[in-house]
Amino acid sequence: MKRVFLVLFAIMFMVMLGFGIIIPVLPYYAKSFGADSVTLGYLMAVYSVMNFLFAPVWGGVSDRIGRKPVLLIGLAGFAVSYFLFAMADELWQLFATRILAGALSAAALPTVMAYVADITTPETRAKGMGMVGAAAGLGFIFGPAIGGTFSKFGSAVPFWIAGGLVVANFLFAALILKESVSAEQRKANAEKKEKAWTAFKPPLSYLYIMQFVVTLSLAGLEATFAYYALDVFGANEFDMAMIFMIMGIAGAIVQGGLIGRLTKAFGEARVIQIGLVVSLIGFLLITQVNSFATAAIYLTIFGMGNGMIRPAVSALVSRKTEAGQGSSMGLIGSMDSLGRIAGPVVGGFLYKMGITFPYFAGAGISLAAIVMFFSYQRMERRYSLKNAFSE
């Protein structure tokens, strides 16, 4: 079991490391093809749109044919897209590559989460989800630094490096990872003929929508905080890199070390509630930022709260779903993608109205998410009583 988790941890770390490598250089690379800020926004958005559409599809496919082949398809999609990006000559090729990348890479991350659900018990699932989430967070922390460093040798170099990392990951997974879904279970899943969005039904639909609004508020913060810090205390690029790195490390510590103990002590439901409350407090504190130190402290508080939510929600959905694990984890991935599509747009609009508005809105969204979670719990109890009486 530990060996399998090590493999999954490495896969998530390397994938997100590669993804993080291209983040700081993508705007400059696209600009060299004549892309303006609006075009860059579209270029970023098409990837998330394709992820939104295809994550539950690939999740369902992984329920029917197994996790390993779908994971390998996703990794291959990542690698090919990076190489094609490095070789592009025209702007339309960048868009075509991002569309291809979004459609194929959507097979990777939800499948890893579904794999975790396959090999963990209900009691250890949140810990497993947290460890994989921490690996993703760590990869995204170190990736931008690597990308920024190697971009000095050529604007396409980071894409070649990212692609090479994913190829190594592909070989690693192909040689070491074993299939987690038995042939009997794959056959049973295939006979169900579930549609991609089958998992989206009450009461779990409340959790999926809650995941969307939580990601929306996070994406709005990520898109606007650099402007906010610049306006409030004159933060530069290095300041922002350090602030987000500190926040990311705090989130990784929560996901990788604390989430298992917290869910064991309190259960997933209570951890979700705690995470939402801490996130709400974090958003309110962010409106009071006045220096590098307060920015780092307040975003760390927010990051710790936010780091509790995703693994606990994933674990709870995994335990409660009547659909396949792949479909369910794919749907959570879709909600994340949808939040990342809408979040920067909403955050930017609110920032124009007032520089603290995105963070007050984030606090309001956190409060709405708490209400939504209580609504889920009420409906869950109602369904449980109904099923008990029908039996």
Name the domain boundary from 172, 193, 214.
193
Q: Are 67 and 153 found together in one domain?
A: yes
Separation between Cα atoms, residue 287 and residue 359, nearest integer Å: 6
Q: What percent of the chain has pLDDT over 90?
A: 28
Q: Are 205 and 174 found together in one domain?
A: no
Name the domain boundary from 158, 193, 228.
193
Residue 198 predicted with pLDDT over 70: no
- Given a contact cutoff of 8 angstroms between Cβ atoms, the answer to whether 379 and 282 are in contact is no
Residue 22 predicted with pLDDT over 80: no
Which segments of the chain does DSSP mark as H helices, in order?
2-22, 26-31, 37-65, 67-87, 91-105, 109-119, 125-150, 157-176, 183-192, 204-233, 237-253, 259-266, 268-286, 292-320, 325-353, 357-390
Q: Are 264 and 383 found together in one domain?
A: yes
- Given a contact cutoff of 8 angstroms between Cβ atoms, the answer to whether 172 and 7 are in contact is yes
Taking only the tens place, the pLDDT of each residue in 361-375 is: 999 999 999 999 999
Q: Are 158 and 205 found together in one domain?
A: no
Residue 388 predicted with pLDDT over 60: no
Q: Are 266 and 386 found together in one domain?
A: yes
Separation between Cα atoms, residue 65 and residue 116, nearest integer Å: 17
3-state SS assignment for residue 282: helix
In this prediction the pTM is 0.79
Taking only the tens place, the pLDDT of each residue in 299-320 is: 999 999 998 998 899 889 988 8
Residue 389 predicted with pLDDT over 70: no
Angle at 279 between CA 277 and CA 282, to 5 degrees: 115
* Residue 289 backbone dihedrals phi, psi, to 5 degrees: -60, 135
Q: Are 155 and 253 found together in one domain?
A: no
Which range among 21-35, 59-73, 157-171, 306-320 shows the weakest confidence by mean pLDDT?
Answer: 21-35
Which range among 53-57, 81-85, 150-154, 296-300 shows the weakest confidence by mean pLDDT?
Answer: 150-154
Mean pLDDT of 338-353: 87
Confidence band, pLDDT 50/70/90 cuts, at residue 391 = low
Which distant-in-sequence residues (6+ apart) come within 8 Å of 244 by Cβ? 222, 299
Give the pLDDT score at 24: 67
Please indicate whether residue 44 or residue 272 has the higher confidence score (pLDDT): 272
What's the domain count of the chain? 2
DSSP secondary structure string, 326-355? HHHHHHHHHHHHHHHHHHHHHHHHHHHH-T
Give the pLDDT score at 60: 85
**In the chain, what is the straight-line distance between the N-terminal and C-terminal CA atoms, in Å?**
37
Which range among 11-25, 74-88, 355-369 shows the weakest confidence by mean pLDDT?
Answer: 11-25
Q: Are 382 and 272 found together in one domain?
A: yes
Mean pLDDT of 213-241: 86
Give the pLDDT score at 196: 57
Give the pLDDT score at 195: 61
- Given a contact cutoff of 8 angstroms between Cβ atoms, the answer to whether 279 and 366 are in contact is yes
Q: Are 319 and 244 found together in one domain?
A: yes
Task: State the residue range of the domain holding 75.
Answer: 1-193
Look over the chain and give the mean of its residue pLDDT values, rounded to a whole number.
Answer: 85
CATH of the domain at 289: 1.20.1250.20
Q: Are 220 and 359 found together in one domain?
A: yes
Mean pLDDT of 21-29: 76
Mean pLDDT of 226-246: 83
Q: Are 187 and 228 found together in one domain?
A: no
Give the pLDDT score at 46: 86
Confidence band, pLDDT 50/70/90 cuts, at residue 390 = low
Separation between Cα atoms, residue 147 and residue 264, nearest integer Å: 38
Q: Are 238 and 98 found together in one domain?
A: no
Confidence band, pLDDT 50/70/90 cuts, at residue 387 = low
Q: Are 378 and 329 found together in one domain?
A: yes
Name the domain boundary from 175, 193, 211.
193
Separation between Cα atoms, residue 62 and residue 56, nearest integer Å: 10
Taking only the tens place, the pLDDT of each residue in 53-77 is: 888 888 888 888 999 999 999 999 8
Mean pLDDT of 103-123: 86
Residue 226 predicted with pLDDT over 70: yes
Tally of CB atoms within 10 A around 178: 10
